[in-house]
Chains A and B, each alone.
Chain A
Amino acid sequence: MVGGGWRCVGVLLVVGLIAGCGGPPEGGTAAPGGSGPGVAPARQGVVLIGFDASEALIGALGQGKIQGLVVQNPVLMGELSVKAMVKHLEKQPVEPKISTGEAVVTPENYKSPEIDKLIHPVRAENVSGASLSGPKTKKWKVIVIPKGTTHEFWEALHAGTLKAAAELGNVEVIWLGPQKEDERDKQIELVHSAVAAGVDGIVLAPLDAHALVEPVEAAVAKGIPVVIFDSGLDTKKFVSFVATDNYHGGVLAARRLGEVLGGKGRVILLRYAVGSESTEQREKGFTETLAKEFPGLTLISDTEYAGPTFDSAQQKSQSLLTRYRGQVDGIFCPNESSTFGMLRALEGAGMLR
């Protein structure tokens, strides 16, 4: 009897699978055919505006698949963070907020020398370089903890920290971070371990504006100064905050999108992740500028989050594009992984111009 029951379930499963497998191709072939004539008079494809530059994104920009990328200056950010920390350690005054600049890269200007320097920054290999417990060769030992180690942005930033170390000559930089940008517990543990290992200073890009507050305050209470970079933290106890003006980055993205679309169209904002201060600022700058300066642009979706990896971003983008196929003219993604995920999804769906 039990066997019979299972056989039934098995048959149902197989039937379900066949039905399931049969479904999508029909839908898939029907959709482009159906929507093609409908949107043909409107626009040739979707305009994608992204944030941050990687090899792949610049390549897509060159091919005209991406119409604009807002880029930061990670090398400068890394350099200024370490310099701010050393300045503080040497008892010199440090500004509480240091801005490192941002710019829009377009298919027209990406070959100009000043932009090229921004999009092809020097990169450091993802190795730690120095040991926390090795003999102290320099006057200061500083640990730099990025949000993650997989994005190219962090490699460029790492190069910046090494540049600062080479220029100053009296500081040893240790580079250690969680692998994925949502491993809050890993980053908290790294801060703990750095404190226990007795570094002179911590330079941190918090991957959560709230969860890292307690570890940072505990480090400061033990007399270890903390410089925050890239993304904000919900406390006032750090030495300095070194970052791109992310809000302004969002403003630039909105203006570029408005320019390409001619001020008219339907726009999707694919958000990055809740609690990530830097990208939330970009999103805010983007949506507020749209509302203020471009009455002809309507935001049709701003509730979806790309999540921490290329993978999650691509999956989310695919679902979004299935939902809004033929109804969207422009998309903004607020960081490297969400832009890349959306680019891949757009390519897969054949929705690029």
Chain B
Amino acid sequence: MLPARPGLHRRLLTWAWTVFGPFAGLALITALFAWMTRHSGQFLSVDNWRTIVVHTVIVGTAALGMTVIIIAGGIDLSVGSTVALVTVCMALFMKKVDPLLPEALRAWKVTMPLAIALGVGVGGLCGALNGALISGLRVVPFIITLGTYQAYRGLATWLASSTTVYVSAEMRPPWFGRIVAIDPEPRWLLVAPGVWMLLGLSLALAIFLRYSLPGRYAYAIGSNESTARLCGINVPAMKVWIYWLGGLAAGLAGVLQFAFLGGVGAPTTASGLELRVIAAVVIGGGSLSGGEGTVLGTLVGCLIMAVLENGCVHAGIPNAIQDIVIGVIIIIAVTLDRLRRGRTA
């Protein structure tokens, strides 16, 4: 009985550390900025946190898809390009297709919902193509998505004729802009609808990863692909499916970006987004060698990045230093995570 006790303690500690570890990082960074900006007290204000969570939504939505991909041992570098492609497709659709719609349909204001569906669909297509190429050509995901990273951005630029596509204000229903507005309407929502959507999706994805068969398959493929195949998992099909899921998330992130930019289809937008998304997953405990990663961790990772960026603005830290700080934090976070796993393993 006595020898069993420390074991139990240790397991409890491990569990607590795994669940609350990322939160500790977030709390540390928040405390640091709160101290640096203690004179104004604005950093910890409700308004500012409303701002921070809205700035988390786009990266967070894309990061949900990336979490599944990274768990399955893959990577997707084409997320930023997909987002740009989606904004361009939505803007072009609204501009070109809306005048063609019959009057009856237009009275129902279906253009925006249709454009949103199209945006998510385009994202899904991009993801499915990534997955199909990875499975079909048997080339590592890094190379395939490095290729599509270029190709999707090129496609976006070509579709937009190398410029920016604007959608007139009348065509954008007011509710669309409010998805990512800082002050939610109605007030009882407390935060922007986009934030609630992200939370809902996260919960669904967490349950899916933990309890569904495909969810467990994703972990299995990421842990050891050959074993997963020997166990009878159709790995190529699963991969297409997983990248399709990632693409849907990127498509939704594109829809949110379109709302955030106030209806601007910009082929140059979201450059470097993929790296922020990957950083968020990795800070949240995802392992690039696959088999590890949690939705909660990813969300906290996204929050850490948003708090860092917002805190730097409050503390008046210039861009260059911001980038250095964020880079250093990524390395520290992942190193700590490695140490933690080393000790508990």
Contact = CB atoms under 8 A, between A and B. Distances in A.
A275 B164 contact: yes
B7 interface: no
Contact residue range for chain A? 35 or more
B287 interface: no
A132 B314 contact: yes
A274 B164 contact: yes
B39 interface: yes
Interface in B257-283: 257, 260-264, 266, 268-270
Interface stretch (B45-53, B105-113, B199-207): B45-53
Interface string A173-193: 010111100101100111011
Contacts of B58: 185
A139 interface: no
B166 interface: yes
A220 to B, nearest CB: 13
Contact of A132 (B37, B257, B263, B269): B37
Contact of A196 (B45, B164, B257, B266): B45
A305 interface: yes
Contacts of B314: 131-133, 193, 197
Nearest to B50: A196
B162 interface: yes
B264 A182 contact: no
Chain B interface main SS type: loop
A190 B58 CA distance: 16
Contacts of B260: 185, 188
A130 interface: yes
A198 B261 contact: no
B310 to A, nearest CB: 5
A128 B317 contact: yes
B55 interface: yes
A208 interface: yes
Given A131-B315, A194-B313, A210-B262, A273 B177 contact: no
Contacts of A273: 163-164
Interface string A102-131: 000000000000000000000000111111
Given A210-B264, A275-B166, A185 B316 contact: no
A208 B167 CA distance: 13
Contacts of A178: 319
B313 A132 contact: yes
A39 B58 CA distance: 54
A20 to B, nearest CB: 17
Given A179-B319, A193-B51, A185 B42 contact: no
A195 B314 CA distance: 11
Interface in A295-311: 304-305, 307-308
A29 B227 CA distance: 58
A333 B183 CA distance: 41
Contacts of A127: 318
A192 B55 contact: yes
A184 B269 contact: yes
Interface in A302-353: 304-305, 307-308
A302 to B, nearest CB: 13
Nearest to B34: A133
B315 A133 contact: yes
Contact of B315 (A126, A132, A177, A194): A132
B276 to A, nearest CB: 11
A184 B318 contact: no
A293 interface: no
A136 B45 CA distance: 17
Contacts of B36: 133
Interface of B: 36-43, 45, 47-48, 50-51, 54-55, 58, 162-164, 166, 177, 181-183, 257, 260-264, 266, 268-270, 309-310, 313-320
